[in-house]
Amino acid sequence: AEEAVYRSHKDWEDTFETITDAITIHDSNYNIIRTNKAGKELLNLPELEKNLKLKCYTYYHGTEKPPAGCPSCNCIKDGMSGIFEIFETHLNRYLEIRAIPRLNNNKQVVGLIHVVRDISEHKRFEFELINAKEKAEENDKLKSAFLANMSHEIRTPMNGILGFAGLLKNQKLSIDDQQTYIEIIEKSGQRLLSTINDIVEISKIESGQLVIHNKKINLNNVFKELFDFFKPEANKKSIELICDNVQNKSELIIETDLTKLNQIITNLLINALKFTETGSITFGYKLNEQFVEFFVKDTGIGIAPENQEIIFERFRQGSISLTRDYEGSGLGLSISKAFIELLGGKIWLKSELNAGTTFYFTIPIK
């Protein structure tokens, strides 16, 4: 009989001390009277056994009574076991706590036992899974919107080209009509080419094949050329185009990738022209110690605060509804952002709805 008692006690002690769940044993006043090795590690209770009569709710929650909904109360009052999950701020961990009543020979409650499992990792996986699922659903939606946009962006100019090429076959056309149709075909071709270029650029970015070709460039020349290129388009919309630098700044020569810099500013100017109906577009740069800071400022429709970050993502447009007010593939800004980061700079914006938008970006000075 002694051996049986010894075995039972020894088996219980060995199990108690080696199990990886933290176990705390409490009296009927919620005082912790014992904990196992895992409990001391997980719950930071190294001094506990010297420091008995510590109420669990005071230790865990810093309160004078058990918090509402705590299953330990039912345990002590009615002898009912319970399980709950809680984020313990002072441990910075998610815990699953089982409360089990301790009963004496007469089935009276003399305390309770907490079996505590650290489920932080499990919770982290759960959150990651939920995030990944949401991201996948979001990507799926974006891809569908992208495909719809793409087919629109390819079909519209294609229809223009084929339709007006067909009309040109008519031998009785006046010279003026011929010229108009040829211009439409030319414009449609350019629009198609720019969409295809965007798709090619984004695939290069995705597959990590972007290469920088640095050379010395004169910034004022770059700005002058961009100004001359965009001036007629701005005139057509009666928008004032102002280049901050052309006349009054001394020459600045920097070493960077000219094609990429041109494309970044071009993308920003195209957007500024697209989203501005009246007022002006100003573009230019200023010098900081280590960076050239470029800007393109418009007085257009502005960008709602909730869209100011997401428009830099691929395929994103200010609105992804199917009734699109503005043409575009939603790739321009993500291409510009990738280029700027590759050149060692960053891009950001300030905008107010119906007042205008200013895009800023930096490029390190070499």
Q: Which residues bind ligand ADP (CB under 6 A)?
A: 267, 271-272, 275, 298, 300-303, 311, 316-318, 328-334, 357
Closer CB to ligand ADP, 24 or 271, in the complex: 271
Using only the alpha carbons of the chain, give its radius of gyration.
35
Query: Shortest Cβ distance from residue 349 to ligand ADP (Å)?
Result: 8
Element (H, E) at 100: strand 93-103
- Joined tokens for residue 197: 């270029």
Query: Shortest Cβ distance from residue 344 to ligand ADP (Å)?
Result: 21
Query: Shortest Cβ distance from residue 326 to ligand ADP (Å)?
Result: 6
Distance CA(337)–CA(171), nearest Å, equals 49
Distance CA(362)–CA(265), nearest Å, equals 12
Sign of CA dihedral 309, 310, 315, 319: negative
Query: Shortest Cβ distance from residue 343 to ligand ADP (Å)?
Result: 18
Beta bridge partners of 286: 293
Query: Shortest Cβ distance from residue 207 to ligand ADP (Å)?
Result: 20
Dump the DSSP string for 2-34.
HHHHHHHHHHHHHHHHH-SSEEEEEETTSEEEE
Distance CA(181)–CA(190), nearest Å, equals 14
Q: In 3-state terms, what secondary structure has residue 320? A: coil
Query: Shortest Cβ distance from residue 236 to ligand ADP (Å)?
Result: 18
Closer CB to ligand ADP, 36 or 271, in the complex: 271
Closer CB to ligand ADP, 23 or 272, in the complex: 272
Closer CB to ligand ADP, 101 or 328, in the complex: 328
Query: Shortest Cβ distance from residue 363 to ligand ADP (Å)?
Result: 19
Task: Identify the CA nearest to 292 among candidates 235, 233, 244.
Answer: 244
**Which residue do the tokens 């800007």 mark?**
295
Closer CB to ligand ADP, 71 or 332, in the complex: 332
Contact (Cβ atoms closer than 8 angstroms) between residue 123 and residue 28? no
Task: Identify the CA nearest to 339 among candidates 226, 261, 266.
Answer: 261
Sign of CA dihedral 62, 63, 66, 71: negative
Query: Shortest Cβ distance from residue 336 to ligand ADP (Å)?
Result: 8
Closer CB to ligand ADP, 311 or 338, in the complex: 311
Closer CB to ligand ADP, 66 or 330, in the complex: 330
Closer CB to ligand ADP, 256 or 329, in the complex: 329
